[in-house]
Structure 1
Amino acid sequence: MLKNYFKIAWRNLLRNKLRTAIHVLGLSLGISIVFLIFNVVWHSYSFDRFHPDRDRIFRINTLTEWDMGESYPTPGTNGPLGEVIDKEISFIETKGRIYTLYETLTIVPEGQKVMGRSNWVTFADPGFMEIFPRKWLAGNPKTALENPQTAVITQSNLERYFPGVQPIDALGKELMWIDGDTIQAQITGVVEDFTENTDFIFRDFISFATIQTEEQKEWYGLHLWGNVNSSSQLFVKLPEGVDPKELEASLAVIASKNFGEDEEAKTTFSAEPFSEIHFGETYSENAVSKVFLNGLILIGLIILVLATLNFVNLETAMAIGRSKEVGIRKTLGGRPLELIYQFLVETYLLVISAGLIGLALAELIRNLFASYLPSGFELEYLQGSNLAFYGLFPLILTVFSGIYPALILSSYQPARAIKGERAGAVGFSWGGFLRKNLTILQFSSSIAFIILVLVLQAQLKYVSSQPLGFEKEAVLYTRLPFMSDPNQMQRLQQLVKQQSGVSDASLSGSLVSSNSLWTSDAWIPVDTTERQIFTQVMNTDSAFVSVNGIPLLTGKKASNLKDEILVNENFLKEAGYSDAASALNQSIRFGGEERKIVGVVGNFHSRSFREEIRPLLITFNPDYFQMLSVRLSPGQNLAEAKLNLESAYREIYPYETEEFHFLDEEIGRFYEEDLKIRNVLSAASLLAVLISAMGLFGLSSYTIAQRTKEISIRKVLGASVIQILGLISKEYVALILISFLLAIYPAYYFLNDWLQGFTYRLDMPFGLFFLAGFGVLALCLAIVSIHSWMAAQTNPAKVLKDE
């Protein structure tokens, strides 16, 4: 019997090639998107699931809220909290501390091998290894990180540092890390690398006890409660049965005890469940935003629902075409349940065919959007979760998409069905009502997607066209080694300035515009008192203003003196100066010392257009320069100039691998996530429109075919082709109008929330809403008009000859 079901289903699919093609293509698009998103979600939730007792592990986060409304959440903590948390909170089972190092140069003294810079180095205490245990190949897990100047490395780094050396023989060997200062340690342990998906990318673990003197603690910012550094992270493991809310309450007590109420900022601690760490700030490039992930899930479901609605819509519309088949089979003894099985088998074959095509499309989409997916993500077709997907998903989709059409078809009465009549009353038709509403849902989704894309594109175009307040073209930059010798930095600057085609070069702590932000307080004398100003601070040399094309409104450029500063226009307003000239040579207090304002620069966007321009103070401190910016003369070969600059860089820093980058590309990254959202939505809107258009194509071809006699009679009675087109099209115009009205609110809701994230933004462009609606209407009318025109051109004599 089952064999017959499949045989009949296969013949029906081959007989109705247009219907089959529409179903397979629509469902394959939906399945490919769902399959890809299923794998992305599965991959994202697979990180660090292998750690024992992971539900009892928490990372302590810090939130600093300033009086002026700004807040700074960070996964880091201050140093003192890590020292006292297990003493202040008695029920903590284990605490683990790390201090991550950035771009650390590793040297193997044995053979004087320079291994390059990496982000795999961290300070760690024994508690960290206890909370996140590894397999030890050599060394004692309890004591390996207890003493200063000791280190544990992973097997992969053992093979890099000491090729061919066994783990037990590596114990006692020395390693050096250069991070502003030189750290030297002996290897006391070797552990296996994690092979599972993990955010813990570290391969060198230096004992936390190495940071032992007050000078070292101050260097790493671990000496004060007020110093919060994202590099300093604290993990705790709770005993079984302890409510995390108890930990939160105890952290609140510690915060209130160590931060006075008269502080300028309020600091609080919170316990982040370990399962949430992958979706926040991590140590690798594998992190993924949960908002972005949920957005992908929503888009995938919408695309699948549209494809499923296509199936239901077209099958219910075509049901009358199979009514005689149903009537004959019922007359010959076919039972409704057998008919339902038959139609579900037919649906299952469609779903399987679409699924095979969908898997190929999923790989194509993955390659097209590889940069949008998590780092290291691959489609592993034979993993257990995907095998389960292959087995269960087609069955679920078959039931959801095929059950209603199957029930409709199996419910026809034999006498009526053989005559080609529908079951039910002549008046109101549930089938017609359902088809119209499903069409409305499809096109409202399509219109909403198109509106989102158009408005996102308009806002991004707006911010890219606004003046930045500086000149970003023909400027290149490079990062300098952390805490590099100021003399070396100045040698590189002079060497670069000697290059042909270089107009000028500047050293600074950050770029003229970047995600970097340094804020502090400045004190302005007012009569016999001082007024405090919360200001942004940039650390630069005297060439910074000219290299970046920042307009100097009055005064002079700073002269590389620590007691001279520049300020911007917003600083003048905040400080209460009447004009730029009145601020010149005025003294203010900054960093505990008196500074003199020697110049005023115009306002410029040092951050993205999401933020307003802050009051800005430009100071000079060469010990903390990290960037070299270079302006090229007009008409230079940019590629050749870049190579020459990098050659000069290698002369001064032969062991570094840093390259020069273009400033305008860095600024473009401000809106990288927004561009990704726009492009993902563009792809989603294209798929939504394509699926909806295919469904409308199939539906209109069939429904218009049912009205050929009506059209022929109208032609005989004198109706023109234009009148017939208008008659058929007006129903679809009404459907698109309703779809447009339903699409407006959800599109407006999401766009309004997104636009609120920009300080500088467009007013809501409602004209684009109507443009999207008009575009979909035009597409819809074009599709319907093709079928209507073909029907209207048919000779009435051929259609009415049997009447």
Structure 2
Amino acid sequence: MFKNYFLVAWRNMLRNKLRMAIHLLGLAMGLSICFLIFNVVWFANSFDKFHPDSERIFRINTLTAYEGGESYPNSGTPGPLGETIQDEIPGIETKGRLYTLWGTLVVDPSENKVFGRSNEVTFSDGGYFEIFPRKWLAGNPKTALENPSAAVISQASLEKYFPGTRPQDVLGKELMWVDADTVTAQITGVVEDFSENTDFIFTDFISFSTIKHLQKENWYGLDSWGNVNSSSQLFVKAVPGKSAKDFDSEFESLVKKYYENNEGNSTNFSAEPLAEFHFNQNYNDTTVSKVYLKGLIYIAGLILLLACLNFINLETAQAISRAKEVGIRKTLGGNRGQLIFQFLAETFLIVLMAAVLSVFLAELVAKLFMDYLPTGFVLKLFNWPNLLFFVVIVMVLTVVSGLYPGFILANYQPQRALKGEKISNRGFSMGVFLRKNLTVLQFTASIAFIILVGVLGAQMKYISNQPLGFEKDAVMYANLPFMSGEDKMNLLRDRLAQESFVVGVSLSGSLVSSTSLWTSDVRVPKDTTQMEFFTQVMNADSAFTGVNGVKLLAGRRPSNQVDEILVNKRFLRDAGVDTPDEILGVVATFGREPRTIVGVVDDFHSRSFREEIRPLLITYNPAYFQSINVKVQGGQNLSFAKSKLEEAYRSIYPYETEEFHFLEAEIEKFYQDDLKIQRVLSFASAMAVLISMLGLFGLSSFTIAQKLKEISIRKVLGASIAQILGMISKEYLVLVGVSFVLACIPAYYFGRDWLNDFQYRIAMPYSQFVFAGGIVLLICLMVVGLHSYAAATTNPAKILKDE
């Protein structure tokens, strides 16, 4: 019996090849997007789920709010909290501490081997390995990190530092890690690397007690409740049943105890579940925005919904042509259940074939959007989540897409169907009503997508054309080794300045525009009082503004003196000063030291257009310079210039692998997420339009075929081709008009919310609304017009010969 259902279904599909192709293509496109996004979301949520009792593991975060209203979330904690948390907060089973190091030079002193810099080195205590256990290949997990100057390495580091050596044979050997200071430690353990998806990338673990042994607690900022450093990470494993909310209420009493005199500022701690770790600040810049993932899910759902609406719309319309088949089946004893099951069998076959086709389309889409997929993501076709996904989605789509058209078919009355009464034009028709509304929904989604793409594109164009207040072209930079010494930095600066194509060289703590942000309070005398406010701080030498093309409004550039500072134009407003000349020579208090303002520069965008330009102070502290900036002459071969600069860099720092980067590329990173969203929406809008037009193509071809006799009679009575085209197109013009009105509402609100995220933005570009509606209307008229023209030019004699 079931064999007959599917055999008949297959024959019906072969008889309607155009309908079959439209269904297959539409559903396959929707399923491919859905399948790919399902894998992306599954991958993003798979990180660090393998740790034992992962639901009881939390990272402690800090939120610092200042009197001026600004607040700064931080994934780090003050050092003393790591010492006292188990005594102050009940219900903590284990605590684990990390102090992460970046750009650490690794050396084997016995062999005089330099392994380059690593971002996978951390100070750690034994509690970390209790919370995140690993398989130990050598050493005692209980005592390996107990004493100062001890270290545990992973199997990856073992193969890198001591290739071909057994884990037991490296115990007792020494390695040297060069950061702000040189740390020499004996290897006391070797552990396996994690094979599962994880954000814990560290391979070298130096005992946490080494920091105290070296008397470096002050240097690392671990001796004060007032120092919050993102490198100081604290993890806890709670007793069963304890939630993040329980922690948050208990932290309030701890804050009151240790932050009594906070001078208007406030500090709060919170417990972040391990499940959220991958979506916030992690260690390898693979953070994925949950908002972005939710947006992808909505897009996938909408695209799939459009494909389903196509199916329902076209099948509901074409159900009329199967009225005689239904009449015969019912006359021969077929009941409603059998007829519905017959149609569901046809739907199942189509959905199943579309699912198979969607796998190949998903791989194609994944290759096209590889740059937009998470780092490390691989589309795996045959695993249990994907197999389960296809089983569920095929069954759900079969029921959702096939049930209503099946009911329509099963409800035909056999006596009327066999007489040829296919449809009644009198009164309300549920089928016609449904088809029109489904078509409106498809057009609405298409227009809304195009509007949002236009809004994003207009804002991105505005940003790219706005002056930044500095010159980004032909400026390159490289990061300097941390605390590498003034002599070497100055030697490199002078060496680069000797190149004929170099216009200027500058040393600084950060780039002229970056994600880096250093803020501090400053006091400026005003009449008999002092103006106190927060300001952004940059650390740079006297050549910094010249190299980056920042305009000097008044005064002079500093002469590399610690007590001289530059301020920007925005600084004057908070200082209560009207003109740049008024503030020259004023002695401001910054860092509890008097600093003389010697110059005023014009405002420039040191951060993205999402943020308002802050008051800015440029100071000189060469010990903390971390970047070298180079301005290259115009018209130079930048690739050649880059290689020459890197060659000079290696001559001063032979063990470094740092390269020179373009400032323009760094600035573009500000808007990477926005560009991703724009391109994803562009793709989604193209898919929505294509699926909608596929449905329109099939629906219009069928509905126009139903009106062939009416068209022929009108031609006989003298109607022109233009009149016939207008008559048929009028209905679709109304549908697109209603869709346009409906699409404008969500597009406006989503577009407005996104624009409001920028401090510097365009007004709502209403021209994009008109453009989107016009594009969809034009495509609609083209599709309908082709069918209408073919019908209008058909010889009426061929149509009316049986009348």
TM category (shorter chain) comes to over 0.9
The one-letter code of the counterpart of 1:70 is E
Listed as ranges, the matches of 1:122-201 within 5 Å are 122-201=122-201
Say whether residues 1:671 and 2:671 are aligned partners.
yes
Distance apart, 1:584 and its partner CA? 1.3
Listed as ranges, the matches of 1:195-344 within 5 Å are 195-212=195-212, 215-260=215-260, 262-344=262-344
The one-letter code of the counterpart of 2:404 is Y
The one-letter code of the counterpart of 1:108 is D
Matched with 2:32 is 32
Instruction: Provide the aligned length of Structure 1 versus Structure 2.
Output: 803
Given that 1:286 and 1:376 are in contact with CA atoms closer than 8 Å, whether structure 2 keeps it comes out as no
The one-letter code of the counterpart of 2:482 is F
Q: Distance in 1 between the 2:578 and 2:331 partners?
A: 97
Distance apart, 1:392 and its partner CA? 2.7
Matched with 2:609 is 609
Matched with 1:452 is 452
> Structure 1, residues 140-196: CA drift from partner, whole Å, max 9, x if none?
111111111111111111111111211111111111111121111111111111111
Q: Distance in 1 between the 2:373 and 2:633 partners?
A: 39
Distance apart, 1:213 and its partner CA? 5.5
Matched with 1:484 is 484
3-state secondary structure, aligned to 1:741: helix
> Structure 1, residues 314-369: CA drift from partner, whole Å, max 9, x if none?
00000111111111222222222222222111111111211111100100111111
Matched with 2:658 is 658
Matched with 1:519 is 519
Moved more, 574-583 or 189-198: 574-583
Q: Distance in 1 between the 2:690 and 2:504 partners?
A: 53
Distance apart, 1:224 and its partner CA? 1.4
Distance apart, 1:21 and its partner CA? 0.6
The one-letter code of the counterpart of 2:435 is R
Structure 1: give runs of 5+ residues left out of the alignment. Answer: none
Task: Give identity over the alignment, percent.
Answer: 62
Given that 1:170 and 1:187 are in contact with CA atoms closer than 8 Å, whether structure 2 keeps it comes out as yes
Distance apart, 1:638 and its partner CA? 0.8
Listed as ranges, the matches of 1:499-538 within 5 Å are 499-538=499-538
> Structure 1, residues 680-733: CA drift from partner, whole Å, max 9, x if none?
000000000000010001000100110011111111222211111111111111
Distance apart, 1:483 and its partner CA? 1.5
- Under a length normalisation based on structure 2, what TM-score does the superposition of the two structures give? 0.98
Matched with 1:640 is 640
3-state secondary structure, aligned to 1:218: coil
The one-letter code of the counterpart of 1:310 is N
Given that 2:320 and 2:423 are in contact with CA atoms closer than 8 Å, whether structure 1 keeps it comes out as no
Matched with 2:84 is 84
Given that 1:214 and 1:223 are in contact with CA atoms closer than 8 Å, whether structure 2 keeps it comes out as no
Q: Distance in 2 between the 1:396 and 1:756 partners?
A: 39
Given that 2:693 and 2:780 are in contact with CA atoms closer than 8 Å, whether structure 1 keeps it comes out as yes
Cα gap change, 1:534 to 1:173, in 2 (>3 Å): same
Given that 2:348 and 2:398 are in contact with CA atoms closer than 8 Å, whether structure 1 keeps it comes out as yes
Given that 1:80 and 1:225 are in contact with CA atoms closer than 8 Å, whether structure 2 keeps it comes out as yes
Distance apart, 1:215 and its partner CA? 4.7
Matched with 1:626 is 626
Cα gap change, 1:268 to 1:214, in 2 (>3 Å): farther
- Under a length normalisation based on structure 1, what TM-score does the superposition of the two structures give? 0.98
Given that 2:126 and 2:142 are in contact with CA atoms closer than 8 Å, whether structure 1 keeps it comes out as yes
Structural RMSD (CA): 1.3
Say whether residues 1:2 and 2:2 are aligned partners.
yes
Q: Distance in 2 between the 1:312 and 1:225 partners?
A: 64
> Structure 1, residues 76-127: CA drift from partner, whole Å, max 9, x if none?
1111111111111132111111111111111112311111112111111111
Matched with 1:734 is 734
Q: Distance in 2 between the 1:594 and 1:391 partners?
A: 71
The one-letter code of the counterpart of 1:193 is D
Given that 1:416 and 1:423 are in contact with CA atoms closer than 8 Å, whether structure 2 keeps it comes out as no
Matched with 2:575 is 575
Given that 2:148 and 2:213 are in contact with CA atoms closer than 8 Å, whether structure 1 keeps it comes out as no
Given that 1:566 and 1:597 are in contact with CA atoms closer than 8 Å, whether structure 2 keeps it comes out as yes
Distance apart, 1:209 and its partner CA? 0.7
Structure 2: give runs of 5+ residues left out of the alignment. Answer: none
> Structure 1, residues 410-461: CA drift from partner, whole Å, max 9, x if none?
2211111223324778321000000001001111001110000000000010
The one-letter code of the counterpart of 2:359 is L
Distance apart, 1:214 and its partner CA? 8.5
Q: Distance in 2 between the 1:242 and 1:609 partners?
A: 42
Moved more, 617-626 or 405-414: 405-414
3-state secondary structure, aligned to 2:138: strand
The one-letter code of the counterpart of 2:730 is K
Distance apart, 1:593 and its partner CA? 1.3
Q: Distance in 2 between the 1:263 and 1:589 partners?
A: 18
> Structure 1, residues 449-500: CA drift from partner, whole Å, max 9, x if none?
0000000000010011011111111111111111211111111110100012
The one-letter code of the counterpart of 1:321 is S
Matched with 1:347 is 347
Distance apart, 1:264 and its partner CA? 3.7
Say whether residues 1:400 and 2:406 are aligned partners.
no
Moved more, 102-111 or 210-219: 210-219
Distance apart, 1:68 and its partner CA? 2.3
Distance apart, 1:529 and its partner CA? 4.0
Distance apart, 1:286 and its partner CA? 3.1
The one-letter code of the counterpart of 1:518 is W
Moved more, 333-342 or 691-700: 333-342
The one-letter code of the counterpart of 1:394 is V
The one-letter code of the counterpart of 1:358 is S
Q: Distance in 2 between the 1:235 and 1:424 partners?
A: 71
Q: Distance in 2 between the 1:191 and 1:149 partners?
A: 18
Given that 2:138 and 2:168 are in contact with CA atoms closer than 8 Å, whether structure 1 keeps it comes out as yes
Matched with 1:416 is 416
Given that 1:58 and 1:236 are in contact with CA atoms closer than 8 Å, whether structure 2 keeps it comes out as yes
Q: Distance in 2 between the 1:184 and 1:211 partners?
A: 12
